[in-house]
Structure 1
Amino acid sequence: MTTTAARRGRGILLTSGLAIVLAVVVVPFYWLVVAATHSSQEIFSSPPPLIPGGHLPDNLATLQETADFGRVLVNSLLIAVLYTVCAGAVCTLAGYGFATYRFRGSNGLFGLIMLGLVIPVQVTLVPLFRMMADLHWLDTYQAVIAPNLALPFGIFLMRQSMSALPQELLDSGRMDGCGELKLFWKVALPPMKPALAALAIFLFLYQWNDFIWPLIVLRDSSSFTVPVALASLQGLDDTDYGAILAGTAIAAVPMALVFLALQRHFVSGLLAGAVKE
């Protein structure tokens, strides 16, 4: 009887904790959607609005008029998709190389790449900007995409995942006359779908949310990404928070769709290679 009561108590505590966590996660998103349908005056009223209002069309019209938000969304989608594909290819190939080949200095080289995880981004901004200026790449997509293609976390994730591949499987493919690229594409890559899904989610969100680097290299408002365009709506004297929150709510949709499309692979992809037999 005591055991049953203790089990029931733990269940109640666990359910209460999950309810609190759910509220902490959901309530800000709910208020974001509600605030996107109100004017700035209504957003800062007391008490704040808790049900949708009728200003969403006005906020969207202001957003399009002041920031050309339709074009901005296309810019961000193109940059994020191109970055995800290109950086995914670079990180996967690098991870495969570090996991399957042993050469002198490989561990040192991998450790050098991992140092990129602890170097502050701000340290690299000036040299990267000078490099983009020398290449005449300022205000172009490649200036936003190229500098972070070899992302240290992506290489680490794929290296750990590729390390779980049986070496005998790769050796048998080589004995059958399989070239290295074909071996990578036909043998090593198919089992890595969960890890690739996790990598794709991370890369897409990383690029979609990036603010400081696009702000530095993109000068023309027609080439702005979503974070830069939303930041440009904040004025010194007057800021239309209704329009900004409407844009923020719209910007959250692609991230949610990407995560929902790949979420069933996400946890297994992050755990791939964590345990070796």
Structure 2
Amino acid sequence: MASIPTLKQVPDAPVAPVPSGTPPQAVRGRRRLRARILLLTTMVAATAVFVYPLIWLVSASFKPQSEVFDNRLIPRSPTLQNYVEIWNAAPLALWMGNTVLVTVLAAVAVTLSSSMVAWGFAYYRFRGRNALFFLVLATMMLPGAVTLIPTFLIWNALGQVGTLTPLWAGNLFGSAFYIFLLRQFFLGLPRQIFEAARTDGANDWQLFRHFALPLCKPALIVTLLFEAQAAWTDLMRPLIYLRDSDTFTVPRGLKAMVDQFGFAGNWHWELIVTASVITTLPMIVLFFVGQRHFIEGVATTGVKG
């Protein structure tokens, strides 16, 4: 009978030699450092690509006419005369006032109306809800150019052509994109909060006003910022509906300036870029003011389908 080897008789397993050189922790640290440097380099390069046009625009606004397109970021002979001339040549203050009015009305109107519709789709349960919601989303597939003529005929029949009303009043009926955006946020709210409030006697309007709206503040700010940017830079509708220069918005006024200052082949681009800088600053300030809420809203919207 073969004998079973005892513990002392079992040969020791060979021990792998410990490689000499850099410790594994140091190798992983170097790899992470190289990856971080590559990421930062890529981010800096991408930032430079996006920021360069703005830097060029600001630089060109301080250059005389003969140096606008010399591609120098630091002007050879900087001047403030462009800013003086543009305020005397065009009613920029009036145009910016009209644009601020349209922007505020359009942003507030579309935020309130879209939030009401989105709350209805998110909270209430009724037959055909999904089909109706898909029908609302289907309107996003319709190009805006298709509805230009019918919309113009409606505003013309109401006698509003030539006024600022067509630039913002359509937002009173909501927007399919913002309805989808806000609905996704409402779906992520705990339903137990609203059921408890209803048990305590809250009606439908109180649920929406005192509970739903405060809880979706980041999404509302995202909607406001998106629509404010869209209304501030809108050129198509002002070109269609505005006739008098006293009602021009900033984009429509800039278009008029391009037509006005381009004569006999002598384009005064130094005035155009100066006006562009002045009218771009409010959007930059608006973004930095709402940056924290904007990032929070983008990060938290759409977490539930």
TM-score bracket for this pair, using the shorter chain length: over 0.9
Aligned to 1:80: 103
Work out which of the two has the higher radius of gyration on C-alpha atoms and give 1 or 2.
2
Aligned to 1:225: 249
SS at structure 1 position matched to 2:243: coil
Aligned to 1:8: 33
1:163 to 2:187 alignment? yes
- The alpha-carbon distance between structure 1 residues 148 and 124, as it changes in their structure 2 partners (threshold 3 A), is farther
Give me the whole-angstrom Cα distance separating, in 1, the residues matched to 2:30 and 2:230: 46
Q: Is the Cα–Cα contact under 8 Å of residues 95 and 155 in structure 1 kept in the other structure?
A: yes
Give me the whole-angstrom Cα distance separating, in 1, the residues matched to 2:212 and 2:222: 17
Aligned to 2:226: 202
- The alpha-carbon distance between structure 1 residues 154 and 130, as it changes in their structure 2 partners (threshold 3 A), is same
Equivalent residue runs for 1:252-271 within 5 Å = 252-271=280-299
**Match for 1:152 among 176, 179, 182?**
176
1:28 to 2:53 alignment? yes
Specify the code of the residue in structure 1 equivalent to 2:103: A
Q: Is the Cα–Cα contact under 8 Å of residues 128 and 147 in structure 1 kept in the other structure?
A: no
* Post-superposition CA distance 1:199-231 (Å, at most 9, x none): 111111011111101111111111111111101
Q: Is the Cα–Cα contact under 8 Å of residues 66 and 233 in structure 1 kept in the other structure?
A: no
Give me the whole-angstrom Cα distance separating, in 2, the residues matched to 1:77 and 1:276: 35
- The alpha-carbon distance between structure 1 residues 87 and 274, as it changes in their structure 2 partners (threshold 3 A), is closer
Aligned to 2:205: 181
Aligned to 2:10: none
Aligned to 2:140: 117
**Match for 2:68 among 43, 54, 57?**
43
1:63 to 2:86 alignment? yes
1:246 to 2:246 alignment? no
* Post-superposition CA distance 1:37-87 (Å, at most 9, x none): 123321134xx332245443x323432334311100100011101111111
1:275 to 2:299 alignment? no
* Post-superposition CA distance 1:213-264 (Å, at most 9, x none): 1111111111111111101111353432111111111111111111111111
Q: What is the aligned-residue identity percentage?
A: 35
Structure 1: where are the runs of 5+ without partners?
none
SS at structure 1 position matched to 2:127: coil
SS at structure 2 position matched to 1:174: helix
Aligned to 2:14: none
**Match for 1:97 among 120, 126, 137?**
120
- The alpha-carbon distance between structure 1 residues 174 and 268, as it changes in their structure 2 partners (threshold 3 A), is same
TM-aligned CA deviation for residue 137 of structure 1? 0.7
Give me the whole-angstrom Cα distance separating, in 2, the residues matched to 1:231 and 1:208: 14
Specify the code of the residue in structure 1 equivalent to 2:279: A
Give me the whole-angstrom Cα distance separating, in 2, the residues matched to 1:110 and 1:17: 41
Q: Is the Cα–Cα contact under 8 Å of residues 109 and 171 in structure 2 kept in the other structure?
A: no
Q: If the length of structure 1 is used for normalisation, what is the TM-score? A: 0.93
Aligned residue pair count: 274
Give me the whole-angstrom Cα distance separating, in 2, the residues matched to 1:137 and 1:247: 28
TM-aligned CA deviation for residue 273 of structure 1? 4.4
Structure 2: where are the runs of 5+ without partners?
1-25
**Match for 1:128 among 151, 163, 168?**
151
Give me the whole-angstrom Cα distance separating, in 2, the residues matched to 1:217 and 1:37: 34
Specify the code of the residue in structure 2 equivalent to 1:91: S
Alignment RMSD (CA, Å): 1.8
- The alpha-carbon distance between structure 1 residues 67 and 123, as it changes in their structure 2 partners (threshold 3 A), is farther
SS at structure 2 position matched to 1:50: coil
TM-aligned CA deviation for residue 116 of structure 1? 2.6
Larger fraction in helix = 1
Specify the code of the residue in structure 1 equivalent to 2:271: A
Q: Is the Cα–Cα contact under 8 Å of residues 39 and 241 in structure 1 kept in the other structure?
A: no
